[in-house]
């Protein structure tokens, strides 16, 4: 038999790693970001500057605010208002659908990524293709109506209405809402929830006072990631809204189509302000950038 003195000896702490070598490596690895910085300058910074230039000048290159103020044109203003309204509605619907789903996913016992995969899977397919598929489904002579007609049920007439656009927005941007919320929810320590229960809170109180407030960063980034693309879309409204409904995205697209780059850029700047506002809200709330996994 051997001496037993296992438990009184404190395990020695692992020696601190030598600082020098690793920090040198980090300093030297900065050049790795140069290709991306070049890309960023070429395809993000310069285009934005070009938009700024076109937006703030006339065809005779003189400075003007007319292009930006074109938003005050009643027709453009109506398109902006419509776009804001539809994207807001679709964002709320996304949130109402996404939150319970994210909640169920985060509680799933075998944290298999299978269901998460199913949510991400549509994102791998072309966005345009999926929207055109919805057009086929919703058309007066489309798949859904054919089936409804077969059973002598009332027809579904939502193609070319704002509701069809909302449907398209919700369908396309729902995963962008689910994932950030799911990401925050799985990070909430189970014992925080247990602590709330332990202190007397029932399920609803625990949700309202603990889970929901703690998940707000995810909700905020989800809202932005569903709201911003909805606000700027013109493809969904083109395909599902017919030609009658013009959102601000369609207006801008039209301006560029007819070669009026100056007004198109001016209106883009207005839209950019709305996007920057929502980004500012996000960066205020979303310190842990839950959305990073998406971009």
From 2-10, 60-68, 149-157, 256-264, give the range in contact with other proteins by CB under 8 A.
Answer: 2-10
Please report whether residue 16 would count as binding other proteins according to CB under 8 A. no
Q: How far apart are CA 168 and CA 131, in angstroms?
A: 7
Please report whether residue 4 would count as binding other proteins according to CB under 8 A. yes
Q: How many CA atoms lie within 13 A of 123 on its CB side?
A: 15
Q: Which of 94, 95, 166, 210 binds other proteins (CB under 8 A)?
A: 210
Size of the site for other proteins (CB under 8 A): 25
Closest separation in Å from C-beta 283 to other proteins:
18
Please report whether residue 200 would count as binding other proteins according to CB under 8 A. yes
Q: How far apart are CA 39 and CA 46, in angstroms?
A: 10
Please report whether residue 119 would count as binding other proteins according to CB under 8 A. no
Q: Which of 18, 189, 259, 287 binds other proteins (CB under 8 A)?
A: 189
Q: Which of 108, 155, 192, 280 binds other proteins (CB under 8 A)?
A: 192
CB of 215 within 8 A of CB of 184?
Answer: yes
Question: Which residues, listed in sequence order, are joined to residue 63 by a DSSP beta bridge?
Answer: 57
Q: Print burial letters for 118-152: b (CB count within 10 Å at least 16), e (below 16).
A: ebeeeeeeeeeeebeebbebbeeebebbeeeeeee
Q: How many residues does the chain have?
A: 295
From 250, 254, 230, select the one nearest 242 (Cα to Cα). Answer: 250
Residue 91: how many CB atoms within 10 A of its CB?
25
Tokens (6 digits) for 19: 């600082």
Q: Which of 111, 140, 197, 284 binds other proteins (CB under 8 A)?
A: 197
**Residue among 115 and 201 whose Cβ is closer to other proteins:** 201
Q: Which of 191, 204, 243, 259 binds other proteins (CB under 8 A)?
A: 191
Tokens (6 digits) for 100: 């319970």
Q: Which of 111, 140, 209, 284 binds other proteins (CB under 8 A)?
A: 209
- Interface residue list for other proteins (CB under 8 A): 1-8, 189, 191-192, 194-202, 205, 209-210, 213-214
């Amino acid at each position: 038999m051997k001496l037993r003195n296992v438990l009184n000896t404190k395990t020695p702490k692992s020696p601190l790693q030598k600082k020098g070598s690793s920090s040198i490596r980090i300093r030297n690895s900065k050049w790795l970001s140069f290709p991306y910085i070049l890309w960023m300058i070429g395809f993000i910074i310069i285009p934005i500057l070009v938009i700024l230039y076109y937006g703030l000048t006339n065809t005779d290159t003189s400075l003007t605010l007319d292009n930006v103020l074109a938003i005050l044109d009643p027709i453009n203003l109506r398109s902006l208002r419509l776009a804001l309204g539809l994207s807001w509605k679709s964002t709320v619907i996304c949130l109402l659908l996404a939150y319970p789903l994210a909640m169920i996913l985060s509680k799933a016992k075998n944290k298999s990524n299978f269901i998460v995969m199913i949510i991400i899977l549509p994102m791998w397919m072309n966005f345009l293709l999926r929207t055109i598929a919805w057009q086929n489904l919703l058309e007066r002579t489309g798949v859904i109506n054919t089936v409804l007609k077969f059973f002598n049920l009332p027809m579904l007439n939502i193609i070319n209405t704002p509701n069809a656009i909302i449907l398209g927005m919700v369908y396309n941007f729902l995963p962008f809402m689910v994932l950030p919320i799911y990401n925050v929810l799985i990070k909430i320590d189970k014992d925080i929830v247990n602590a709330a229960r332990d202190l007397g809170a029932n399920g609803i109180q625990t949700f309202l006072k603990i889970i929901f407030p703690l998940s707000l960063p995810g909700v905020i980034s989800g809202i932005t990631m569903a709201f911003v693309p909805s606000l700027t879309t013109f493809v969904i409204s083109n395909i599902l809204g017919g030609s009658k409904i013009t959102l601000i995205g369609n207006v801008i697209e039209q301006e560029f189509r007819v070669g009026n780059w100056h007004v198109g850029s001016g209106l883009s700047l207005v839209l950019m302000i709305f996007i920057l506002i929502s980004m500012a809200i996000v960066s205020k709330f979303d310190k842990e950038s839950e959305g990073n996994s998406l971009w």
